Structure 1
Amino acid sequence: MAITGVLRPGHVSIRVLELEPAVKHYVDTIGLQEMARDTAADGSPRVFLKGWDESDHHSVVLREADESGMDYMGWKVDSEATLEKLSADVQASGLATGMGWIEAGEHPKTGKRFRFTIPTGHVMELYAHREVTGCATGYENPDPWPDGLKGMAPRSFDHCLLYGDDLDGTYQLFTDVLGFGLSEKVVADGGKLMIGVFLSCSNKAHDVAFIRQPVKNKLHHVSFLLDNWGEVLKAADIISKRRVSLDIGPTRHGITRGETVYFFDPSGNRNEVFAGGYTWYPDRPVITWTDDQLGTGIFYHDRKLNDKFLSVFT
């Protein structure tokens, strides 16, 4: 499959209550690499990070703020022409608000970004250019992994799961306008009500997921990619060893088949490290989960819903 249009999740900007404890968590415990620091337009300090196997300059932004949560999520598109087309399509769709351009350089080593608010209240961005600084192994006769990795050492930022009210409008925007495919869905009321969607712009099981909740603009978790189940188990050991706040796991999802452990950063934002899943193609039939089997869908091993997992978000 030739992947065109929106290529992948490019960045996530996370609000943290204190910057230095957050940096220590994301660098030493999770294992991201610090790439740059600056000050946002409102005067708040920011730090830019990436996983060891990511080629672009950064994929994670930490911004010190009075409230935790997600500022925005960014999507890399394949060209400047696609950026112009998709920005026009979003504006014409009637499904987005708060639209406008962010000038090149507002993120380091990054071109202009088109910002808009989706029906669930989350802020999204599209951009075409970010300087390629390279991965930690290089691209000529590389080793499978670099020396000197820290913590859980994820390869990359992988996806977000987001909570919001207008799931239908957001689903329409992502599929009809931005070209995402639906890999899995969760339904209630005998299949009449869609309460969760797992969307892919690549051939992953999901690049972003949305769950219907009576709130706007809420972050459930930010996820980072590990290679295998063994690395997920090691991540759980690191969580215990470093007295990190554990949410749940290690376990497996029924939805997406991923192997997972969830935990919290010092500001209360939920993190996930994730491995496994399946290869998705646009002609693959959509997997449907009914609400009476949601416990198995979320936590395949114990097959029970966890109230804290469902109700805690930032």
Structure 2
Amino acid sequence: MVDLTKLSGRRVLVIGDLMLDEFVDGDVLRISPEAPVPVLEVRGRTYRAGGAANTATNVGSLGGRPSIAGVVGTDREGEILRRELLASDVDLSATVADTARPTTHKTRIIARGQQVVRIDHESREPLSESVREELTARCVQAMAHHDACIISDYNKGVISPALCAAVIQAAGNKPVVVDPKRRDFSAYRGATLVTPNLNELEAATGIAATRDEDVIAAGRSLLASLAGGAVLVTRGARGMTLIVPEREPLHLKATAREVFDVTGAGDTVVSTLGLALAAGISLETAVAVANEAAGIAVSKRGTAAVFAEELRKVLG
């Protein structure tokens, strides 16, 4: 379908909300005498880069050269996240440390392979003016040395319309892929591709996207606010729908044989898209490759990277 060696060495700048994902695994053998809740006997604890940081990690595992631009705290979680990213050869030079802001940290409690509860530590407040200006300057400067950009918006206060506008302008003709969270898609005006899931599509348009024709209508209603960009709707078990101005919609069926965990699947999609577009691969082909990558991602447990060799096997 596509020569994946084209992805090798392409530089992709990922901008967005950085997170640390923590997984606490154990067994439940009894109920607490203090309250009617299970007692988890911890067997292990692992950390992985999450959110936009997971997107950057996936760019690297697919053969690209990722850089990450975002904000981390000067706390223990921030140190662990930096360590995880450096271990994956992610360039951190565009990342800003904020002494007044905690690193976004999600702890998932896993009992015998089943997630029991998730605990979030985060701030959703907008960045301070000084931090915002520093991050924007680093993003604009970094864009000159990259082949594509991914904006990974988790609505944690890092991504703003002004930051998006500055980055998209700096990108020029280079591809910009956006994983959105805000309802007003005009913030992403000028981006090459925006990838809402069904909930995000409905929130942005007010259209209940239950049928194919509803998805298409909702997606087309967003095209005007993107000024020439395309919309890729990720639809879980129903696959993906690509909507491009003045073209017929393209539907792709989901490829996963078994869904184990959907954590980070969206990160895998945008990382594959950004890297493929950076390599000059056509939009339609890039979407088909991203669809296969998503099928691999959901078959893995937790926040997991997809590797080029795995993708090569399924593409044949």
Q: TM-score, normalised by structure 1?
A: 0.32
Greater per-residue helix proportion: 2
Q: TM-score, normalised by structure 2?
A: 0.32
Greater per-residue strand proportion: 1
